[in-house]
Amino acid sequence: MLEAVIVIPVVVLLTMIVVQYVMLYHARNVTEAAARDGLRVARGYQGTAAQGKTAAEQYLTDVAPRLLVARTCDARRSTATVVIICRADVASVVPFGSFSVTEQAIGPVETFGT
């Protein structure tokens, strides 16, 4: 009985830590995909930074509305490059700590050539 009282909480806590790690890994992949999607839109021939930001934020909302909370995306477009940075807090199942992810995508602006 004493062993069960000691072992079961430890096993439950270790399981929660593994689940949190998997959630963090998935959140990182989703955030990276959102940044790439925003980049794809913003770097288009007549695309804008605002369109890229909207696309990235919409991707986060569509794909992981409950996993990623307090999500924001920033977009900058110059004449040569586009940068999209997405940040989000990850929902936590572990009773301690808070987790966040930040991913960025950088690419050249598409230009029309004759």
- Give a yes or no: residue 6 inside a domain: yes
How many domains does the structure of the chain reveal? 1
64 by DSSP, 3-state: which? coil
Task: Record the tokens describing residue 64, joined without a space.
Answer: 């992981």
CB neighbours of residue 24 within 10 Å: 17
- Give a yes or no: residue 113 inside a domain: no
Range of the domain at 22: 2-108
- Give a yes or no: residue 16 inside a domain: yes
pTM for the model: 0.87
- Give a yes or no: residue 43 inside a domain: yes
Tens-of-pLDDT digits for all 114 residues of the chain? 778 888 999 999 999 999 999 999 999 999 999 999 999 999 998 899 999 999 999 999 999 999 998 999 999 999 999 999 999 999 999 888 899 999 999 999 998 876
- Give a yes or no: residue 56 inside a domain: yes
pLDDT for 97 equals 80
- Give a yes or no: residue 114 inside a domain: no
Beta bridge pairs of residue 105: 84
Q: What is the CATH number of the domain that holds 64?
A: 3.30.1300
- Give a yes or no: residue 79 inside a domain: yes
pLDDT for 114 equals 67
Task: Record the tokens describing residue 111, joined without a space.
Answer: 């230009």
Beta bridge pairs of residue 76: 83
- Give a yes or no: residue 58 inside a domain: yes
